[in-house]
Amino acid sequence: MDLTAWLLRLTPPRPFVVATPGGTGARVAVERVVRERGWQPAASPAEGNILVVAGPVSDDLRPAVEQVWSLFPRPCARADIDSASAAPARLAAAADALGDPDRQRRPRAAHPHHDRRGAEPPMADRARDRDGLMLDRLHVPLGPVLPDWPAGLVVRTALQGDVIQDATVTTTGLGHARQVSPWDSPTGFVARRLDSCARLLSVVGWPDASATARRLRDDVLRSDVLRGDRRARTATALARWAGRVRRSRTLRWSLAGVGRTPPVPSTPPELGGDAWDRVGSWLDSAVRTFDRPGSAAGLDRAPETRWALEALPTLLDGNELACARILVASLDPDLDTLARREAPHG
């Protein structure tokens, strides 16, 4: 065994997981397998070595996916997973490719449909700030290929310093989304709330609480969760975790005042207040609804998603870029709900 092969055998998989519209079920399955195998997810291509794309990759999304793939340093591998059932085998194959010295020595082949025209690197110009001074302005796109980011969402920001002076919101890939969702079950509403909490906690930098939320989400989605002792154990674990999150002063300090929505009748009740208020609402509804399975089944999230997309530019204006991902995660629009109802937003 040569040195390269020996080092590759010692290289732990670090998956960088991104989702596309229609890929929610695949993403949830990927996150479960990653947790069960003890792999540590990566927050960026620079620290990752497996790109995991959960969901179908449409022509309009492919340039962004390929741009991210080009940023991965060697050794690296890629797993395109378009269904939940494919997750274990595809991830295992990617891990094998990561540890294969022959594959790692080969030149990285470009995707046959690779096209960099859709890539959006940051660009700069000059514009007047709010005091009338001419200052540099940097254009920074967020999405659509980011971890813990709404699948298909693109936010284009114009920054002066680290403050967002202008933001536009579009969507991509919705026309190809398949409407197979893990949330379509008696416990799907609870699982969806836990998923939203997990993504926000990950973005804000509390990985332990985020991992627990994902484990509870997966437990809630088990077919036998509502029977016997398992239901009682899950309810106890859910309540204990929710109490821990509510008591976190650091989390409250991080979220209070972020993304405060207008207190008007048109604001959906689920999206009222600031990011801290929304987390509290998610926790309360998850605990309450688990005690009454099926009570929230069939709820249509399309109206609140449409509202969030329309409100995001105003909510983001004047915020620091560091708050942008927290703000988006606290609204957590589910763009898959729009795929059957309307053409892509924007």
Parallel, antiparallel, or unpaired: how do β-strands 77-81 and 50-54 relate?
A: parallel
Predicted local distance difference test score (pLDDT) of residue 115: 46
Q: Quick one: which of 260, 256, 332 has its CA closest to 301?
A: 332
pLDDT level of residue 161 (50, 70, 90 thresholds): confident
Residues 6+ positions from 87 with CB-CB distance below 8 Å: 26, 29, 30, 32, 33, 54, 81
Residues in the chain: 346
- 223 vs 86, residue with greater confidence: 86
Q: What is the mean pLDDT of residues 9-21?
A: 93
Q: What is the mean pLDDT of residues 267-274?
A: 93
Q: What is the mean pLDDT of residues 197-221?
A: 96
Q: What is the mean pLDDT of residues 85-95?
A: 96
Amino acid at 275: A
Asked if residue 235 lies in contact with residue 225, where contact means CB atoms within 8 angstroms, the answer is: no
pLDDT level of residue 148 (50, 70, 90 thresholds): very high
Q: According to CATH, where is 3.40.50.12280 located in the chain?
A: 3-105
pLDDT digits (tens, 9 = 90+) for 299-344: 667 889 999 999 999 999 999 998 999 999 999 999 988 865 544 4
Phi-psi region of 158 (alpha: psi -120 to 50; beta: other; left: phi over 0): beta
Pairwise CA distance, residues 13 & 154, whole Å: 28
pLDDT level of residue 80 (50, 70, 90 thresholds): very high
- 114 vs 6, residue with greater confidence: 6
In this predicted structure, which of 36-50, 74-88, 105-119, 141-155 has the lowest mean pLDDT?
A: 105-119
pLDDT digits (tens, 9 = 90+) for 31-66: 999 999 999 999 999 999 999 999 999 899 999 999
pTM of the model: 0.88
SS (H, E, C) 263-274: CCCCCCHHHCCC
Q: In the numeric block, which tokens belong to residue 60?
A: 């309009």
Options 3.40.50.2020, 3.40.50.12280, 1.20.210.10, 3.40.630.30; CATH for 3-105 is 3.40.50.12280
Residues 6+ positions from 297 with CB-CB distance below 8 Å: 185, 186, 188, 189
Pairwise CA distance, residues 57 & 117, whole Å: 16
- 222 vs 117, residue with greater confidence: 222
Predicted local distance difference test score (pLDDT) of residue 299: 63
Residue 175 to residues 56, 58, 216, 311, Cα–Cα distance (Å): 11, 9, 31, 22
- Max mean pLDDT among 19-33, 165-179, 213-227 falls in 19-33
